[in-house]
Structure 1
Amino acid sequence: MRVEDFDMFATLLKQRSGLVLTKDKAYLLESRLMPVARKWNMKGLDELANTVRTRKDEALLRDITEAMTTNESSFYRDSKPFDQFRQLVLPRLLETRASKRSIRIWSAACSSGQEAYSLAMLLLDEQAKIAGWRIEIVGTDISAEMVERAKAGVYTQFEVQRGLPIQMLVKHFKQNGDKWQISQQIRQMASFREWNLLQDLSALGQFDVVFCRNVLIYFDQPTKTKVLESIARQMPPDGILYLGGAETVLGITDRFKAVDGQRGLYTPAAGGFAAPAAARAF
């Protein structure tokens, strides 16, 4: 790939998705954009690059952006965040939201929906505690293809084997050929929509809990700051933010602070999240 083409694609992706590509990732750019070139009946990446320069085709730009977006997810990924949610976060929310009996959860960069559906299955197991409550799970992703996959709730054998306990598979999924579809009951507990984290988030509304795990690692520091501060504006003072195990707010923003003793959990700096008495030993 020509250096000037790499620089052009890298700039385009940074502007549209926040993704930062370094020169050592040229091979990744080539392998993921060749299928886009073929889809658009182009001979190769040179023609693709020239077309992008001369014709601002939004559909083409979307295909390029989606091709480079990492869509990595699995059910109950890393497990600890879901243990924290069940034993620490949910009990606290049931205390503090008792008057309005409503909880909103956001799965940001949700890919094909496994994180959102993992939360839905977890909440269904706790249905005796949340009877009469309005629980809303919203999943968003920059990729239209991933959003449609999430809405369908259909997964391959490989995908359901990654992190999903067999009892959950039997209980909540129906096999159809070589694919598995999650039950309508679970699908109705989550909604999905296309959204770019670099956009204005205000239209999404306020969220009590935000899962934004393993997303910031692809951004440079100014973009990380922008995204975290945008998220902070969509949360109440006692909300909870989940980041990935390798991610932090230190040196990036002062809008969040870590929850004591809970790796990966953050709360708005202006407020605070206190564990319920029954869960403080967790």
Structure 2
Amino acid sequence: MNSTDFEFLRDFLYQRSGLALTPDKSYLLESRLAPVARKARLVSLSELVAQLRQRADEALTIQIVEAMTTNETLFFRDRWPFERFTSMILPTLMEQNRATRRIRIWCAACSSGQEPYSLAMLLTEASAKLAGWTVEIIATDISEEMLARCHKGWYSTFEVQRGLPADLQKKYFTKDGDGWVISEKIRNMVKFRNFNLLQDPASIGLHGLDLIFCRNVLIYFDEATRKTVFAGMARAMKANGYLCLGGAETVIGISDAFRILPGERGLFAINTQASIPPSAAAARATPAPAFAAAGLRP
């Protein structure tokens, strides 16, 4: 791949998905997009770039973004966030929301659904103390292919064996061909929606959130994009909400929208003292200052 084609694809992916690719990742473009080019009956990535330059092709764009998206996940990944959810986060949210008896959770970049379904199983295990409560789990991903998998709730034996405790498999999964399908009860607890993290969460009704899981995806974004994503999440959260990131991710030095919780790895709380920038749409709707309206400069 020549440098001109790489730069075009790098900028194209950044604008459409927020992925930040450095030159040393050109091999990823070649390996992941070569099948996309072949499917479109194009003989090379140069032809793929030429087609993108000539005309907007939304179907091809979706295929490119999905091919470049990392969809690695597993049930109860890393364990500690789910242990803290059960031991600390859920009890705290129940205390904070005892008047409304309602909890809203967003799993961002959910991939094939193991994370939100892991939370749904934990909530079902705690159903006795949650009697009379309404708990919503909204899970989003940029990939329609992954969302289709989420809705089916079918996982291979290999996927089920990666992280899923045997007792929960027995309770909530049924053998189906070469794999396992999660129970309808658990599937019905999660609402799946298509969403690009570059968008404003309010655009799909994400607001009043108590907890956001956004794990192991922001490492693929640059600092400016992370800052934008954090601001959007902060606007979507309640004043006492929590944010759970991956073990290698942090808000430190990037955003003051969230504050560190002492002793909690990868877990942050909303910073009520921070000034959260408005969404792009809100900023556009803000009336211009008088001097600007008059054609003057400050």
Give TM class, smaller chain.
over 0.9
- The alpha-carbon deviation at position 152 of structure 1 amounts to 1.0
Residue type at the aligned position of 1:231: M
2:290 maps to what in 1?
none
- Aligned residue for 1:88, secondary structure, equals helix
Q: CA deviation at 1:205?
A: 2.3
Counterpart Cα distance in 1 of 2:80 and 2:27: 34
- Report which stretch shifted further, 105-114 or 32-41: 32-41
**Equivalent in the alignment of 1:241:** 243
Residue 158 of structure 1, CA deviation = 1.2
Tell me if the contact between 1:240 and 1:268 (Cα under 8 Å) persists in the aligned partners.
yes
2:124 matched to which residue of 1? 124
Give the number of the structure whose alpha-carbon radius of gyration is greater: 2
Please give the residue correspondences for 1:223-234 in structure 2 after superposition, counting only pairs within 5 Å: 223-234=225-236
Hey, what's the Cα distance between the residues in 2 that align with 1:96 and 1:232?
18
Displacement of 1:167 = 1.3
Tell me the residue number matched to 2:176: 176
| 1:151 counterpart = 2:144 | no
Letter in 1 for 2:34: M
Contact 2:207 2:235 in 1 (8 A): no
**1:13-32 to 2 correspondences below 5 Å:** 13-32=13-32
Distance 1:247 1:175 in 2: 36
- Structure 2 matches for 1:156-235, cutoff 5 A? 156-202=156-202, 203-235=205-237
Name the structure 2 match of 1:96: 96
Deviations 1:104-131 (A, max 9, x none): 0000000010000000000000000101
Structure 1 residue runs of 4 or more that deviate by more than 4 Å after TM superposition: none
Distance 2:38 2:168 in 1: 40
What residue is the counterpart of 1:77 in the other structure?
A: 77
Q: Match of 1:6, SS?
A: helix
Report how far residue 206 of structure 1 moved. Answer: 2.2
Structure 1: runs of 5 or more not aligned: 272-282
Aligned to 2:281: none
Indicate the residue corresponding to 1:46 in structure 2: 46
Measure, in 1, the Cα distance between the counterparts of 2:24 and 2:142: 24
Shift of 1:268: 0.9
8 Å contact from structure 1 (residues 151, 191) kept in 2? no
For the Cα contact (< 8 Å) 1:228–1:253, is it kept in 2? yes
C-alpha distance in structure 2 between counterparts of 1:46 and 1:18, whole Å: 22
Of structures 1 and 2, the one with the larger relative CO (CA 8 A, separation 6+) is 1
Secondary structure of 1:237's partner?
strand
TM norm structure 1: 0.94
1:96 Cα deviation (Å)? Answer: 1.1
What is the TM-score of this pair, normalised by structure 2?
0.89
Give the partner amino acid of 1:152.
K
CA offset digits 1:136-178 (Å, max 9, x no partner): 0010000111111111111111111111111111111111110
Structure 2 residue runs of 5 or longer lacking an equivalent are: 274-298
Q: In structure 2, give the amino acid aligned to 1:243.
A: L
**For each residue in 1:226-266, what CA deviation from the matched residue of structure 2 results, as whole angstroms up to 9, or x when unmatched?**
00011000111110100111111111011110112111110
Identity within the alignment, %? 54
SS at match of 1:136: strand
Q: Which amino acid is the alignment partner of residue 232 of structure 1?
A: A
